[in-house]
Amino acid sequence: MSVQPEAQQPEPARKPVPEPEKVSRRRLLRYLMWGSTGVFALATAGVGLGMFWPRKIQGFGGKVVAGPVSKFAQPLSVTVVREGKFYVSHVTTRYAPVEGLIALYWRCVHLGCTVPWVPAEDRFHCPCHGSIYDHAGKNIAGPAPRPLDWMPLTIEKGIVVVDTGKINQRHAVEANQITPFKG
Ligand code: FES
């Protein structure tokens, strides 16, 4: 008995596999050129925007938030703000031409020691050589040659902000150094 070979099934037609597109050298260079142009444009736009974007509130050397204005409401209160290296002093007409808030840089104008507020003495008293300053930072004893330096203070939507990037020397306590208190 002879064995009949199995009838061969026709193979299913295969779909032609598309050859991967070859990227020509010229096209590759074009991609690279546009890519680097795009990166450059984005970087330039970033720098440009950075110049016009409002600067963030920052630490010493920039604007520092001292706190809500209610924190400084008490006349003759002196509050230290360590982040900004200053005091917010609520002065009255006993110490200044007008009542309001003044920001005092805590650095002694004699030789640069940090001057603490001493509540028991009701004044600033430098531990280094004994300079003494009153509520408005006026030098009243010791070797300090002038009042403590001051910084611009603003009240923005109920928040006290001090610009520690603008430290001002002075030889007298004057009204323009004091921000009227708006509670
Ligand atoms: S550094 Fe303050 S009195 Fe000399």
Closest CA to 147 of 104, 98, 182, 178: 104
Ligand 1 centroid – CA 17 distance (Å): 86
Per-residue pLDDT of 125-156, as tens digits, reads 999 999 999 999 999 999 999 999 999 999 99
Ligand 1 centroid – CA 97 distance (Å): 26
- Which atom from ligand 1 is nearest to the alpha carbon of 130? 3
> Alpha-carbon distance 66 to 161, whole Å?
6
Q: Is the pTM of this model over 0.75?
A: no
> Alpha-carbon distance 132 to 141, whole Å?
5
| Encoded tokens for 17 | 């596999």
Counted residue by residue, the chain has a size of 183
Pocket of ligand 1 (CB under 6 A): 108, 110-113, 126, 128-131, 142-144
Ligand 1 centroid – CA 96 distance (Å): 23
Taking CA 90 as the corner, what is the angle to CA 125 and CA 139, rounded to the nearest 5 degrees? Answer: 35
Checking if the pLDDT of 178 tops 60, the result is yes
